[in-house]
Amino acid sequence: MSEPVSPSSSVSRARFGRGRLLRVAGAFGVLLAVACYMAVQYLSGGGGPPRCVAHAGDEPDGGGPTYEMTPEQAANAATISAVGTRRGLPERAVTIALATALQESALRNLDHGDRDSLGLFQQRPSKGWGTAAQIQDPVYSAGEFYDHLVKVPGYSRLPLTEAAQRVQRSGFPQAYAKHEPDAALLAAALTGRSAASLTCSTPTGITPGRPEKVRAALTRDFGTEVAAADTAHEVSVPVSAAGGTAGGERGASVAGDASEAGETGEAGGSDGTGGTDTSGGTGRSAAGGTASQRGWELAHWAVAQSWELRIDEVAYAGRVWRAGQAHRGWQRVEGTGGGRTDGPDSGAEVVRITTAR
């Protein structure tokens, strides 16, 4: 014969049942909210958290290799590339630098590391790479890497892992090689050799951008030879084939650049391919390619910096990237001047960068 159930037990079971029901309902509500958010992101082209993708060719779904990264990683990669081309270095140098940063920091500007290692390349103040504050400046740290790289005789003809190791003196010298395919893909896009091959997504509703910050960042990465002009919400960057400086700004790397160029014939060439060396051969100067390559370098830089600088749209050469439609890649703009000016300089190529409003 079963014992009678006390009133207190019945109340406890009822409360337990109601609590469980509330927990299940709450969990279902959270799942429903997440599903709604993802649906809105999909329909609006957001596709979830912000991300950047470099791909082979000018179609994002072309089926070739891709490399996906966060906006922070993309911005750092673009700065590393810009510092290299500003110095007139070949695409191969950019590839080596990117592969090194991928291994050392995963393209993140770290404030920690082994012993006193810091920054994108995990350089150490105690080893003479600069102060901690300098090393954590991506422009400075990339410049230091290139300054050391160009002192390595014939670096563009060396296996990537050997060239990187001669600069880094790592305890794991073979680790750089695994990043070469991704670094080569990134370098092709960021030096402009591969057109319309980098896209980034940003969430809707971001805070407004400021054109003067875009101009300042362009000068920071490319130098004063980039003559950008801005209006209330747009920055126009005239494009020329010249990408690097002739001397002064390159500082300690001038002699090394000249030596390397003399050994490998990296003067630019008449075929207009720019830096085509991604296999260890004699890459021409990434900064000495055609105006089109320079234009795509600037356009991809703007896309890579879109999250940090609140950039909403980039237009060049009859193509346009829009933050809210990043899943569509670079869209063709039919029946317009694309990246051409409309004023007295009509016919001159420009990259147009529009900030978020």
pLDDT tens digits, residue range 267-323?
332 223 333 333 333 344 455 578 999 999 999 999 999 999 999 999 999 999 998
Q: Which one-letter DSSP state was computed for residue 4?
A: P
Higher pLDDT, 253 or 98: 98
- The percent of residues above 70 in pLDDT, for the chain, comes to 67
**Which residue shows structure tokens 């160009």?**
150
**DSSP-H helix ranges across 198-289:** 211-222, 254-264
Q: What is the helix (H) or strand (E) element at residue 147, kind and residue range?
A: helix 138-149
What percent of the chain clears pLDDT 90, i.e. is strictly above it? 54
- Record the pTM: 0.75
CB hemisphere CA count around 221 (13 angstroms): 24
The reported pLDDT for the residue numbered 114 is 86
CB 235 within 8 A of CB 337: no
What average pLDDT is seen over the chain? 78
Torsions phi, psi for 235 (to 5 deg): -120, 130
DSSP E strand stretches across the chain: 52-55, 66-69, 198-200, 229-230, 234-238, 311-316, 319-322, 331-332, 350-355
Sign of the CA dihedral with 117 first, then 119, 123, and 129 last? negative
The pLDDT of residue 337 is above 60: no
Encoded tokens for 123: 């350089």
Tokens matching residue 244: 């690097």
94: enclosing H helix or E strand: helix 91-105
